[in-house]
């Protein structure tokens, strides 16, 4: 089998979503949510200077739709700080967002990539191909992949799928805080060739996932390019009610699992990635929706929330 050497390797990288199209079961709910934390300029009550446009944007307080749980965070790399966050350490199942960790674990363990594996990585990241993710997940040791990445990236909330569901990569527990750390690792610490592969594919995320779901919700709809995104969705069935394109069922069937909190029984929809020139902002919005929500309704809610989070984060 032909191999592609790392050095001089140039190819695009894109991303896609979720335990794309994986279904879920069980039932968990959130009771209450922490108020958002938005970086603002404190006032004394006395007349002061007129706030700038960016200051006014940061004063926007995102409104999470009724019945929806959301954990989000925006990190401004130029300023070196978090500009808005809410329930950033609360865990939820990753759906396809874990595909970034699968790719990182694979790429950092070798200096050359066989052409066949390159195709798997491209499909998994760019079009959220579940079959490709399952192949690389199994080959990498399944739960061991997450354990290695937790240690290497110093993640604090991320955990492998339950021991009795080792093949269900979409049951990896993640938080907005840890997903921001993953993107920071890619941008600041990963080898250039690794960064170029992963973010390159995420910049070229296709409109349609391989399972037929439309990946352009959240960040891609809320803000203009440049962006790089890895989306995630689960709990909407294996075939979309409104197909984005040709799709093949991924064959994965998920069942309820134990702790950590994965939000089982409720559909998840996540949008994660970088926004702006030089990947200035890292944006992560993770959501759980009421049981029975349609993909269209959930994606509309998430996109509206993402616009507000972007404003609150100063974007």
At residue 71, the pLDDT reads 97
pLDDT band at 108 (very low <50, low <70, confident <90, very high): very high
C-alpha–C-alpha distance, residues 260 and 84, integer Å: 25
Torsion of CA 178, 146, 301, 129, to 10 degrees: 140
Whether 155 has a pLDDT exceeding 90, the answer reads: yes
pLDDT band at 74 (very low <50, low <70, confident <90, very high): very high
When pLDDT is averaged across residues 3-27 and rounded to a whole number, the result is 38
The percent helix, strand, coil of the chain (3-state, each to 5) is 35, 20, 50
When pLDDT is averaged across residues 53-64 and rounded to a whole number, the result is 70
When pLDDT is averaged across residues 246-270 and rounded to a whole number, the result is 57
At residue 141, the pLDDT reads 97
At residue 262, the pLDDT reads 74
pTM: 0.80
Closest to 59 measured CA to CA, from 50, 68, 46 = 50
Q: Which ranges of the chain would DSSP assign to H, the alpha helix? A: 53-58, 99-107, 115-126, 130-139, 143-153, 176-188, 192-202, 219-222, 295-312
3-state class of 16 per DSSP?
coil
3-state class of 87 per DSSP?
coil
Whether 188 has a pLDDT exceeding 90, the answer reads: yes
At residue 134, the pLDDT reads 98
Q: Which residue has the higher pLDDT, 29 or 299?
A: 299
At residue 308, the pLDDT reads 96
When pLDDT is averaged across residues 206-211 and rounded to a whole number, the result is 95
Token representation of residue 32: 């209450």
Token representation of residue 98: 């874990």
User: What percent of the chain is predicted at pLDDT more than 90?
Assistant: 72
């Amino acid at each position: 089998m032909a191999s592609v050497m790392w050095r001089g390797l140039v190819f695009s990288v894109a991303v896609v979503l979720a335990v794309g199209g994986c279904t879920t079961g069980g039932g968990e709910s959130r009771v209450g949510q922490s108020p958002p934390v938005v970086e603002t300029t404190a006032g004394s009550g006395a007349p002061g200077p007129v706030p700038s446009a960016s200051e006014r944007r940061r004063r926007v307080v995102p409104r999470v739709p009724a019945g929806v749980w959301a954990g989000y965070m925006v990190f401004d790399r130029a300023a070196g700080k978090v500009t808005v966050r809410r329930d950033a350490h609360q865990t939820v199942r990753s759906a396809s967002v874990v595909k970034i960790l699968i790719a990182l674990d694979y790429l950092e363990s070798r200096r050359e990539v066989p052409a066949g594996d390159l195709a798997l990585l491209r499909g998994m990241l760019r079009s959220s191909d579940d079959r490709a993710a399952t192949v690389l997940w199994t080959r990498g040791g399944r739960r061991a992949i997450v354990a290695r990445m937790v240690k290497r990236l110093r993640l604090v909330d991320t955990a492998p799928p339950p021991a009795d569901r080792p093949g269900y990569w979409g049951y990896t527990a993640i938080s907005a805080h840890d997903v921001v750390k993953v993107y920071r690792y890619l941008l600041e610490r990963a080898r250039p060739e690794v960064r170029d592969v992963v973010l390159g594919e995420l910049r070229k995320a296709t409109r349609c996932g391989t399972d037929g779901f439309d990946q352009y919700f959240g960040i891609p709809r809320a803000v203009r390019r440049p962006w790089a995104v890895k989306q995630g969705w689960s709990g909407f069935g294996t075939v979309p009610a409104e197909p984005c394109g040709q799709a093949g069922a991924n064959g994965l069937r998920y069942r309820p699992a134990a702790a950590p909190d994965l939000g089982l029984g409720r559909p998840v929809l996540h949008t994660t990635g970088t926004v702006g020139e030089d990947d200035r902002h890292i944006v992560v919005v993770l959501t759980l929706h009421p049981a029975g929500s349609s993909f269209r309704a959930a994606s509309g809610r998430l996109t509206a929330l993402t616009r507000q989070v972007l404003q609150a984060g100063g974007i």
